[in-house]
């Protein structure tokens, strides 16, 4: 009986140490609605140590200090569009964590055109540049800084969050669709070079529409959330499930996965139509 209990405890402990000994940087946690917030909680539960980072303006709006306390993490403010800030981030992260980084979550996206309700055919181009810089080019800058500093360990994992609007038209997603397309292209291109040179893997996870502070700002979001739920055989994937997927991508269980856009959407991306949706046309 004692041996049985010991074995059960050992299995339980192993299940909670998937990232034991790994060091990371998590971008984008704003509040407990953020996927990045859930990722941080799960990474902590799986034994990882990490720093949290976000743009100073986002940090003033959010509750990141509560997350830092909960996960015993430190916060390093950084504008992900600034090479100087990113250099400081990787330098201080390695000092705080005591070595090179093993995983990075890029959960960053922002569109002034969406916020200001500019139609896609009438964009403000200065805002358009901001959308691309914050939501996509920031990944290239992050990877370039990390590679030049040799700041990520071999077999390290970088994951960026994206959306299927990178491949298909969702009118209200606006210029964010262009940004996500660029994000996925950077993942493939930089993933090739980083993998060849340093064995670092780079992937995107294409998540179901999720109720977050950023996502709920898209026009008609509630209706689309319902549509997506009815178009997905498994239903929409929630934020905690996305976090679990990210954890698996940070772990050694996925060492040979790189340059991929991985759909985490309950089957939405592979579904032409469902009975539930067709039934609505007969109403």
Read off the DSSP letter of residue 100.
-
Residue 19: phi and psi, rounded to 5, are -115, 20
Q: Say what the pLDDT of residue 223 is.
A: 84
Give the mean pLDDT of 36-53: 98
Q: Which of 168, 169, 106 is nearest to 137 (CA)?
A: 106
Token digits for 249?
A: 């991508």
Beta bridge partners of 206: 162, 263
CA torsion angle 263 264 265 267 (round to 10): 70
pLDDT score, position 12: 43
Domains of the chain from N-terminus onward: 2-281 (3.40.50.720)
Q: Are 265 and 237 in contact (CB under 8 A)?
A: yes
Determine the Cα–Cα distance for residues 233 and 54; give it in Å rounded to an integer: 35
Two tokens at 194? 């980083």
pLDDT tens per residue across span 210-267: 877 655 556 667 888 899 999 999 999 999 999 999 999 999 999 999 999 999 999 9
pLDDT classification of 109: cutoffs 50, 70, 90: very high
pLDDT of residue 281: 80
């Amino acid at each position: 009986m004692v041996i049985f209990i010991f074995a059960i405890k050992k299995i339980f402990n192993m299940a909670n140490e998937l990232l034991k000994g790994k060091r990371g940087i998590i971008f984008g946690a704003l509040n407990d609605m953020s996927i990045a917030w859930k990722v941080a909680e799960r990474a902590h539960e799986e034994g990882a140590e990490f720093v949290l980072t976000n743009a100073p303006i986002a940090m003033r709006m959010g509750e990141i200090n509560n997350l830092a306390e909960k996960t015993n993490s430190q916060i390093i403010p950084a504008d992900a569009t600034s090479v100087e800030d990113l250099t400081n981030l990787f330098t201080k992260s390695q000092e705080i964590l005591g070595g090179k980084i093993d995983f990075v979550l890029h959960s960053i996206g922002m569109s002034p055109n969406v916020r200001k309700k500019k139609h896609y055919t009438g964009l403000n181009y200065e805002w358009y540049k901001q959308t691309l810089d914050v939501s996509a080019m920031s990944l290239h800058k992050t990877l370039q800084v990390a590679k030049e500093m040799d700041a990520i360990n071999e077999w390290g994992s970088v994951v960026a969050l994206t959306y299927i609007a990178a491949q298909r038209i969702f009118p209200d997603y606006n210029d964010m669709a262009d940004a996500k397309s660029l994000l996925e292209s950077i993942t493939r291109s930089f993933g090739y070079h980083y993998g060849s040179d340093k064995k670092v893997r780079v992937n995107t996870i294409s998540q179901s529409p999720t109720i977050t502070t950023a996502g709920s700002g898209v026009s008609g979001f509630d209706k689309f959330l319902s549509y997506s739920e009815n178009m997905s055989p498994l239903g929409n994937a929630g934020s905690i499930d996305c976090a679990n997927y990210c954890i698996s991508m940070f772990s050694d269980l996925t060492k040979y996965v790189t340059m991929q856009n991985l759909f985490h959407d309950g089957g939405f991306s592979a579904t032409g139509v469902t009975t539930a949706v067709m039934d609505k046309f007969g109403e």
